[in-house]
Structure 1
Amino acid sequence: MSHPCPGSSRFGIPDGQIIVGAEQQYWTWKPGGPDRVGINTIAYYQTFFGRKLELKMGYLRNQNEFAGTVVGGNAGVNVFGPPSNILYQAGMSNNPAPTPALNLKYNFDARLYNKVSIQRSLSPDGQSAQITENPSGLNWSTPNAGILLLDEPGYKNKAAPGVPETWLLAGAGFNNSSYTNLQYPNQPRANANSVYYVAADRQLWQSDVQGSASRGVYGGFSVMYAPTDLNKVSQYFELRLYAKGLFDSRPSDQIAVVATNTVWGNFAVEAALTKGHLVHRDSTAISGTYTAHLAPGIYTSITYTRQTGRALNFLVSTSIFF
């Protein structure tokens, strides 16, 4: 369970922001991850040339900036399944593991954009190693971590009366960190990992055309790929159907049904088989999530995942803006 508390204020900066956040993470389930208390983000955001160019720099969480993993608007509610593994393998920073980065987004017009990032990579040994070696998040780097370069062109139009919201994007990341080669694990570490992805989301029905055009039903998909010789998760597929403000009495609530398929890299699978471990070559799950907007800045999500039978995950997330 984590409790991020981001805050932002103008401080007289025209069309810019300074963003500072902290996070406390505590797990009662050991495999969940290491406990930590540290920064969530320290960032400076600024626009130029009539908002044609957007700059964001500092200790960033690129999980929220790239790959379209958060489509819940200002609330930042994630309706997706868990594509995080394949992105974290590539070194992408996230809420419990922010890293130094500089992001630039160029808006060709109101819909077409291209976004690039130069980011200090997460540890090539994984998310758990990153947090263990840098729990505060303030260290400039961790052992064997290099630079992650990201590029994402996209097309996004906001919902308007009679105009459905559409978001199409594709991206690639290249990382020069020192990774262990899963095909030849006894050889010296290899470099040049990568990840590739495409995603699309479309508003299928507007439930309140004149009042709030973003309310309605949406559909989308994501596909991700990473090379099998350096990554334990090689492919990820997702189909999603979700709704924003489906009920008039709950205009800020969200509902999502997500089907996912995660494919493990063949070298990782063969290595596990050689050791006599029980393995699966892929994992399929169907989950349903209801996210309730309880009060300004407070969202509660309840998720049921069919893959794990009767397991019920309850997440409470609190954000304070000042």
Structure 2
Amino acid sequence: MSLCCTPTNKKSVFPLSLLTLAIFSSTALAAENKYTCQQLDKLNTRSQQVVTPPSICESLIGDVNGWRSALADNGWGVQLSWNPTILYDLRDQQRDPQEYSGQNFTWAQTMALNVTYDLGRIGFSKDAQLTISPQWSTSNYQDGYPRLHNIATLAVNQPFLDGQIELQYGFYPLIRQFYGMILGGNSSSAALGPTSVIPVQVGISLNAPTPTFTFIARDSDKKLYNNFAVSRSMSPKGHLDDVEQNPYGLKWHVDGANPILVNEVGYKQDASDTERSLWFRAGGIYNTSHYDYYDKPGDSSDNYAFYVANTVQLTQPQLGLPLGLYLDTKVNYAPDDRNAYTSDFQVTLFDIGLFPGRQQDMTSLGYTRSFISHKFRDSLKPADLEAPQSINAISLSHAFRLTTGIYWINGITWQDNPTLVPKRDDAVLYQSSMYWNF
């Protein structure tokens, strides 16, 4: 889940990933039970390539009375999270009906349960894992946030050759396999929502999972990789229509949604005593679903996009811990004859442990500029509507670790053009959310 925003991954409302923090805060000790919290982490879900679940060391209830140890003895792992969020435009530009997230006071919440099972116990290959993840999400902004009561993930993950080859198949959202949307993030989504994310715009599944097969190959050092997936596209009408057609998450077919192919090449290096963290990736998306042309009424075609992203640690790791300053950059492109958002770039600086004695906090400053297709803008003229040429956003946020398993995140985003159509005055959006990991 995106901890800088609601866990339905509506693209990062603020460029801040608490899951990143969770990876960096596994220092607490488990109670005197059969397994340490680090050992129990081996049963955390591996179903998401770009999101690492929080350590059991960062759990409110941990292994109290050995309940997680008892489950682990039988091959089971369990994690529950809850993420309530509020969002409001401090310029008080309320309207009825509401046009963007935060225009009226907006609240949302998501609860997700990850259940895993070690399939090696019943004849699968070594370290094969089943993940079942039901989720429940709701909000008072009906046109911006989907109501979810679905299975977010039902997938089998199988590593081979000590992890150099990895297969995954089942039902799961593609956005958590590629790109790294929630790391750094795109602050412009504070008002515009997930449709402003170009990979989502061209059909990568977001809220409702899609039937997918993923194949990952890594070099012997497990740093250089190629990640390929074939899946069903999200509905070309958008993520809200996709959820409406697939309310429980396990539907094989959705009207208008055809196969989509995604391939990402990358290099990923973890921080150590001698090396800084680095993750470079570049990818392409090809969707065989039909998207209407703006400049050819009645005609449609397939869709595609390209992206390049890089997340690099700028300061030397301290005692092997990935503390310090990071830079995350992203560039995206999609053809302007069938996509409203045709390109964008994002730059985010985030610092882990910026303040003395607060090594598990995270501070983030980000800028995003999204460019709007001139063919889309021209298509609005007959209706006397106008869209902006570009959308800019600057955001500042801070994640404060209240105690083990609880983070409180606050942020401010200034954004011009908080709606794509019609044009509205600039927004100053305040967001406050909490993340509880049980």
Aligned equivalent of 1:264, options 372, 375, 379: 372
Which residue in 2 is equivalent to 1:35? 147
Which residue in 1 is equivalent to 2:386? 278
Counterparts of 1:297 and 1:102 in 2: how far apart (Å)? 33
Counterparts of 2:247 and 2:236 in 1: how far apart (Å)? 16
- Letter of the 1:230 counterpart: R
Which residue in 2 is equivalent to 1:313? 431
Residue pair 2:118, 2:127 contacting (<8 A) in 1 also:
no
**CA spacing shift, 1:162–1:51, aligned 2, 3 Å:** same
Counterparts of 2:386 and 2:251 in 1: how far apart (Å)? 37
- Letter of the 2:381 counterpart: L
Report matched runs for 1:51-200 at 5 Å.
51-71=163-183, 79-81=185-187, 82=189, 85-94=197-206, 96-108=207-219, 109-187=221-299, 190-200=300-310
**CA spacing shift, 1:310–1:216, aligned 2, 3 Å:** same
Kindly provide the CA deviation profile for residues 222-272 of structure 1, in whole angstroms up to 9, marking residues without a partner as x.
Answer: 000011112111111101100123335332222111100111122211112
Residue pair 1:23, 1:37 contacting (<8 A) in 2 also:
yes
Residue pair 1:6, 1:19 contacting (<8 A) in 2 also:
no
Which residue in 1 is equivalent to 2:79? none
Matched, 1:209 2:327: no
Residue pair 1:6, 1:319 contacting (<8 A) in 2 also:
no
Q: Point out which structure has higher relative CO (alpha carbons under 8 A, 6+ apart).
A: 2
- Letter of the 1:141 counterpart: H
Question: Could you list the runs of 4 or more consecutive aligned residues of structure 1 that deviate by over 6 angstroms after TM superposition?
Answer: none
Aligned equivalent of 2:328, options 220, 245, 251: 220
**CA spacing shift, 1:254–1:295, aligned 2, 3 Å:** same
- Letter of the 1:85 counterpart: V
Percent identical: 27
Q: Which runs of 5+ in 2 are unaligned?
A: 1-107, 121-125, 416-425
Counterparts of 2:208 and 2:363 in 1: how far apart (Å)? 28
Counterparts of 2:231 and 2:267 in 1: how far apart (Å)? 23
Specify which structure has the higher proportion of strand.
1
Counterparts of 1:58 and 1:297 in 2: how far apart (Å)? 30
**CA spacing shift, 1:295–1:100, aligned 2, 3 Å:** farther
**CA spacing shift, 1:41–1:292, aligned 2, 3 Å:** farther
TM-score (norm 2): 0.66
Counterparts of 2:394 and 2:382 in 1: how far apart (Å)? 30
Kindly provide the CA deviation profile for residues 102-127 of structure 1, in whole angstroms up to 9, marking residues without a partner as x.
Answer: 11111113211110001110001111
Cα deviation for residue 36 of structure 1 reads 2.6
Counterparts of 1:115 and 1:301 in 2: how far apart (Å)? 32
- Letter of the 2:149 counterpart: V
Kindly provide the CA deviation profile for residues 123-158 of structure 1, in whole angstroms up to 9, marking residues without a partner as x.
Answer: 011112111222222211211100110000001111
- Letter of the 1:6 counterpart: L
Matched, 1:232 2:332: no
Residue pair 1:292, 1:301 contacting (<8 A) in 2 also:
yes
More displaced stretch, 125-134 vs 143-152: 125-134
Larger Rg: 2
Counterparts of 2:270 and 2:331 in 1: how far apart (Å)? 23
**CA spacing shift, 1:134–1:10, aligned 2, 3 Å:** closer
Aligned equivalent of 1:247, options 342, 352, 355: 355
Counterparts of 2:154 and 2:119 in 1: how far apart (Å)? 18
Q: Which runs of 5+ in 1 are unaligned?
A: 72-77
Specify which structure has the higher proportion of helix.
2
**CA spacing shift, 1:293–1:106, aligned 2, 3 Å:** farther
Counterparts of 2:158 and 2:326 in 1: how far apart (Å)? 31
More displaced stretch, 258-267 vs 295-304: 295-304
**2:314 counterpart SS class:** strand
Which residue in 1 is equivalent to 2:136? 24
Counterparts of 2:114 and 2:413 in 1: how far apart (Å)? 32
